[in-house]
Amino acid sequence: MTDDKPGKPEQPMTMHQNPQKDGARLSKEIQARIGQQLRSMYDDVVKEGVPSRFAALIEQIENSDDQPKDTDSSKGSRG
């Protein structure tokens, strides 16, 4: 009899296996091209700026932080 459990792989998988080590690497030219395209896309996103609804929310949050919170005043007005 063996201790093998059903469904257990014959060879254990390791966390450090890298399928690209077999020579399937990108050339420096392709890596540079991908980098250029990613930078271009990122620059476009940065140029879009903050949407007005987000800017309004940020302003509301900043204004609410400036005002001191007085929890005792609300108790006296209802009492």
The pLDDT of residue 24 is 76
Long-range CB contact pairs, 44-48, < 8 A, 24+: none
The pLDDT of residue 58 is 92
CA distance 79 to 76: 5
Instruction: Please determine, for residue 59, whether its predicted confidence score (pLDDT) is greater than 70.
Output: yes
What percent of the chain has a predicted confidence (pLDDT) above 70?
54
Domain assignments of the chain as residue spans, ordered by start: 27-65
